Structure 1
C-alpha cells in the first residue's frame, strides 16, 4: 500500500457507486435503487485517491439494533491486491465495535476468494446450521 489514499466515512454518489461496482466485477444495479441505497446506509466508507477518484468502498446496512449486513465491498481493479479490502473491512468493523448493539448479528455474502479476508475479521461460514439464501426482484 504505497499509494496515498483518503478514507472518507461517507457513501459515494450513486453514479460513481455503479461505476465502481461495474469496474470491480460486481453485479449491476439500477440508478434509482442506487440513489435510495446510498442514502439509507447505516455507515459507509470510501477510499479515494489523490484526485478524489473512488477506488474502494464498503457499507453497513440493517436495522441498527439486532441485524447488520456488510455489503458492497469493492476495490477498483487498478488497486486490488494492495490491502485496500482490509482497510475497508477494518473501518466497517471499527464502526460496529463502537456503535453496534451487543449481541447483534452481523452478516455478509462472501464471494470466493474474498471469504478468506472476512475470516480474518472473525466471520464464520453459517453452513451446515444455516444456509444463505437470496431472491432478486
Structure 2
C-alpha cells in the first residue's frame, strides 16, 4: 500500500509537488522518452505499472516532470526502475528527491534484509552513489535481454 505523502529527505523547490504513485501509462511513456530512457509502449506500460511495489512522481503545475518506482518481491529483492526527470526540470533536486523517497520507503517497510539493485544509465551512477549504491563489477555483471511479442 502506498502512503499518501512520501517522506522527503530532499525537499523540492516551490512549485513542485511530490506524490506517491505512478503516473498514467501515456505520461509514463512520455517521460521515459523525453528523459532519454528507452521508449516503451503504452500497452506494455498499462500491463506493467499496476505491478509497482512503490512509486512516486513529481508534478509542476499539471505536468508530471519526474518519476521513479520499485519492483520486486518486497523483501528479498527490490529493483529500482524508471528514474526519469524531464530535461527542462533537471538541476532542481528532483532526481535526489525521488531516489531519497524510494530508499526511505524501502528502509521503512522491508521485513528483514533486501538486495536493492538498479541499472544506471549514462552518468546517473553519480546520483545513485550518493545513496549508497556501488558497482558490483567484477563480482557480478549486469545482463539483460529484450523480449518483443510478435
**TM-score, scaled to structure 1:** 0.95
Q: Structure 2, unaligned stretches of length 5 or more? A: 1-11
Question: How far apart are the structure 2 equivalents of 1:44 and 1:117?
Answer: 18
Query: 4+ residue stretches of structure 1 with deviation over 4 A?
Result: none
Q: Helix, strand or coil for the counterpart of 1:106? A: strand
RMSD (CA atoms): 1.1
Question: How far apart are the structure 2 equivalents of 1:109 and 1:2?
Answer: 27
Shift of 1:30: 1.5
For 1:123, the equivalent position in structure 2 comes to 133
**TM-score, scaled to structure 2:** 0.87
For 1:32, the equivalent position in structure 2 comes to 43
Residues 3-59 of structure 1, C-alpha deviations (whole Å, 9 max, x = no match): 42111101100000001111111111111110011111000000001x221000000
Q: Structure 1, unaligned stretches of length 5 or more? A: none
Number of aligned residue pairs: give it: 136
For 1:134, the equivalent position in structure 2 comes to 144
Question: How far apart are the structure 1 equivalents of 2:13 and 2:76?
Answer: 38
For 1:81, the equivalent position in structure 2 comes to 91
Identify which of 79, 91, 95 aligns with 2:101: 91
Question: How far apart are the structure 2 equivalents of 1:23 and 1:2?
Answer: 22
